[in-house]
Every structure is written in structure tokens, then in C-alpha cells.
Structure 1
């Protein structure tokens, strides 16, 4: 019994460490007025400018107003932008993003490590139907799994509800997790994935990889382990020689 207890204990510790590695970035709604943003337009032009204002629809960015160093004002719609790197406001929030793997091969984009190791948040242009109900439109969406986003990208849902958190008095011991995210696998359309619909989409997201299927054949999957599943899937694909090229 002691032997099996030790095995279970080690397995739980391994899972905890894996969860740390696969943790999603915080979803931010703020931006710094003290640090410039870096923008790549569909025209190929790259811009470094301060952010004056951000317009959103259902929490997702559909327009950004910039001020260039020379004082020129720009008003750019999401449909004109490829990607955007901007810093959240508050040094404590920047510090939350400092624990990334310092290896450019782990990132979905070649510029990501350069900006995000400095505390920047990555947004990319996506065509999406908000909550799978609205007419498709282009938005700038925050990538919250940039370390392992080569095959499956996870985007923040700023309006997501959270699971119940655990606390004693005013002390929060275990925080709630979002009940929904936007997910894009390969060239498929962006999917609004919710906790209650996870069972329905688990197979199509992950079970096309033999190594993943073997590991999780008898597993009762959990919403709280979504990041772990995506990290495992990414590593299994890489081991099979299917490493996606950085975009």
C-alpha cells in the first residue's frame, strides 16, 4: 500500500508540474500608456507607436487608435492588422508574463519571444463568429498559449464566466478558471469552446494523434487540464516530425 501510495503521490506531483508548464497567460483588458505597441499591418508595414485608445466588441478588439512618435494619429481597424504586441498596464501584470520558456522554437511566431519576454501580450488577427452565433468578422484576439501554439491556438474570451474559486475569508486559495475560450486548430475556423461542450469537441481536437490517443485512451478528461492536453498534443506532433513552421 505504501508503494502504490508513493506512485500516486509522484504522479500527482508530475501532473502539478505539467499544469504549471501548460498554464495559460492571464487575459488582459488593459494596456500601458508608457510603453509603445508594435504592429504589423497586412500591407507589410511595421509600426511602433503609443496606444491612445482601444475599441472592443464583446471584449474583442476591433479597432486601435495610435499616436506615432512624431505626433501623427492613426486609426486602424482590426481587419488591417496581422498582429499586435502591447504591454498591459501595471508592473505586477508585466511580471506575470515573465516566466516564458526562453526558446524561440517553442513559440508560434518568430517575433513572439522578442516582445513577450519583455512583458508584452500578443494579439493576432482572426476571423471569428463571437460565441459561435454572430456573423463572422475580423478581430484582434489575445493568444494565451503562445509557448505551445503551433497547432492549437487558444484565445482569451474576455467575457468568460469562471468556475468557483476556493478561499478562506478574504484569502483566495485556489482561483477559478475560465469556462470558455476561443480555439483554433490548424486551418480550421475559430471555435468558441465552452466547459459544457468540451466532451463534444475533445475527440476532434486531440484524437487524431496516435500517441495522444494511446496516453488518454482510458482517461476521463477534465476541463481544468485543457492546457496540459494542448501541450501534450503539441509535443507529440513535434516528436512525429510534424513541427509546424514558425509564422
Structure 2
């Protein structure tokens, strides 16, 4: 019944999801945050504030954190499982601009679908033959039970409209880095190869259910966030 209801509402709706992932937090936004925490590979949690961050080719490689008791730490990406950053009010406003399309999807409030309190960075292995670790921003917190979508630091964008520095329309990335939940090895997913590769490379867990409702004719890149959300709802309980 849950599956039927979800798909029925999706098919009736004329609203596009429009790539409604959470917006990307800049390094300035990260360092402006008053509250962060790190979970190390061994499970240790350290709370504090970011004093600086190191990027190589726009890839987050390390962060310096001053803990609440004044201790200074430097963490490399390989040492961190999760970095959680509590964003400023300005970023939360930008994030709220994406609420409409998610709420329209099946009548759920944005904060019931997406975890808005923190921006999450997770350790992942970049695509390629060498095991290069990076901290990548998770773009689908709250509907990441099957697939995790990360910002591709090298992605190009379609055109966008900004007001007072806040992006309100457009700006759809032409590529993302994607991992199966439970794995930290990312694969590159590109707009130009989406129809050909996505259903076999990414959405492969319950093809009999998922592919029934998403044929080639309506499997478009602009709806990638919708596909991820529906896949999460349909396939998260599949073995």
C-alpha cells in the first residue's frame, strides 16, 4: 500500500523535484559556524569550532578544530568518519528555498524529509585507481538510506538566478559523486550519461519495482533528486 500510494501521488503531480538537494556550504560558511562536531573512525566525538580548512583542487582534505575546552586538533580526511557543521541563519534561509518541491512531492514538510540542523561531510574515496580520501558534503541527508549523493567539486552547472547572493533558481550541477550506503567508494555520475548508466549503476537494488515507474522516456537528469528520494522510499527495506 505504501508503494502504491507513493507512486500514485508522484504520477498525479505535475511538480518537478528540480534537483532539490540541500545547498552546498562554502568554506567561509563552514568556518563561520559556531558549532561543529567530528566523529573519528574509532567513534570518538569531538565538539568545537572550525578554525581553518584545507582544500586541494576544491576538495576538502583536512580541518583544524578548537574544542570547547580549548584543545586544538588537526584532522585529515582519512581520520574522519563524519564532520557535522551547524550552519548560520543565512545558509538555513537558502536551504529553505528548496523546501517547496519536496513538500509538494507527497505533502510532507521539508524538515520531515531533510535533516536541516547540520550540514554533513563524510569520508569517501574519490573515483580513480588510487585510494584518495576526501570529506564530501552529503546532499541528501534524511533520504540517504540506500544511496548517498555528494557534491562533485569539479561539477559544472546550468545557469542560475541569485538574489542578494542567495541562489533561488537553476544552478543544477551536471555531475555528482554517489556511493551506495555502507560503502565509501564514490562513483562519478554525469548528466550526459545519466539515462544510459543510472539505472544499472546507481538504482540497481530493486529494479523490478523502481524501473517499472521510470522508463527511459521520463528518466531525466533534472529529476535526479526525485529519483533518489523515491528509490529511498521504495528500496530501503529491500535485501
Gaps of 5+ in 1: 1-9, 108-112
**Counterpart for residue 5 of structure 1:** none
CA RMSD in angstroms comes to 2.9
State which of 25, 28, 45 in structure 2 corresponds to 1:28. Answer: 25
Contact kept in structure 2, 1:61 and 1:141, CA below 8 Å: yes
Say whether the 8 Å CA contact 1:67–1:73 is kept in structure 2. Answer: yes
Paired with 1:79 and 1:218, the residues of 2 have a C-alpha distance of 39
1:200 aligns with 2:196: yes
Q: Residue 70 and residue 163 in structure 1: after superposition, are their counterparts in 2 closer, same or farther (change >3 A)? A: same
Counterpart position of 2:120? 122
> Residue 4 of structure 1 aligns with which residue?
none
Counterpart-to-counterpart distance in 2, 1:164 and 1:97:
19
- Quick one: structure 1 residues 148 and 39, their matched pair in 2 at CA, closer, same or farther if it must change by over 3 Å? same
Higher relative contact order (CA 8 A, sep 6+): 2
Residue of 213, 216, 219 corresponding to 2:217? 219
TM-score if structure 1 supplies the norm length?
0.74
Correspondence for 2:95 among 74, 78, 97: 97
What is the deviation of 1:136? 2.4
- Which residue matches 1:73? 72
Structure 2: runs of 5 or more not aligned: 1-8, 100-108
2:157 to 155, 162, 173: 162
Q: Deviations over 1:49-68 (max 9, x none)?
A: 11110111232211110112
Q: Could you tell me how far apart the structure 2 residues matched to 1:50 and 1:217 are?
A: 47
Secondary structure at the aligned position of 1:163 is classed as coil
Deviations 1:133-161 (A, max 9, x none): x6221111100011211111100123321
- Describe the SS at the equivalent of 1:177: coil
- Residue matched to 1:6: none
Decide which structure has the larger Cα Rg and report it: 1
**Deviation at 1:219?**
2.9
Whether the 8 Å CA contact 1:209–1:233 is kept in 2: the answer is no
Aligned-partner Cα distance in 2 for 1:101–1:228: 14
- C-alpha deviations, 1:177-200, integer Å up to 9, x for none? 111110112456311111112133
Residue 148 of structure 2 corresponds to residue 148 of structure 1: no
TM-score, with length taken from structure 2: 0.76
Aligned length: 211
| Contact 2:144-2:181 at 8 Å conserved across structures | no
Q: Equivalent residue for 1:7?
A: none
